[in-house]
Amino acid sequence: MSFHDRLREWRESTGRTQEEMAQALEMSLQSYSRYERGVREPKASHLQMLSSMGCDLTWLVTGETVRSYEGEERGRAASIGRIDRDLWRQVKQVVRGVYNRERVRLPEHIMDDILLSKYNALARMSPTQDKLPAALEMIEAQLLEEMDQNHPDAAQTKDRA
To the question of pTM greater than 0.85 for the whole model, the response is no
For each of the chain's 161 residues, which pLDDT tens digit applies?
Answer: 889 998 998 888 888 899 999 999 999 999 999 999 999 988 888 988 888 888 888 888 887 765 433 333 334 444 444 567 778 888 889 988 888 888 888 777 777 778 888 888 887 777 788 888 898 999 899 888 887 776 555 444 444 33
Cβ neighbors of 125 (< 8 A, separation 6 or more) are 135
SS3 73: strand
Nearest to 98 by CA among 45, 149, 146: 146
Nearest to 133 by CA among 81, 90, 100: 90
Buried-state track 19-51, b at ≥16 Cβ within 10 A, e below 16: eebbebbebeeeebbbbbeeeeebeeebbebbe
In order of 21, 85, 93, 125, the CA distances from 90 in angstroms are 21, 9, 5, 15
- 42 DSSP assignment: P
Nearest to 55 by CA among 39, 28, 35, 40: 35
- How many other C-beta atoms lie within 10 A of the C-beta of residue 115? 21
Cβ neighbors of 120 (< 8 A, separation 6 or more) are 76, 77, 78
Cβ neighbors of 151 (< 8 A, separation 6 or more) are 104, 157
114 HSE (CA, 13 A, CB side): 23
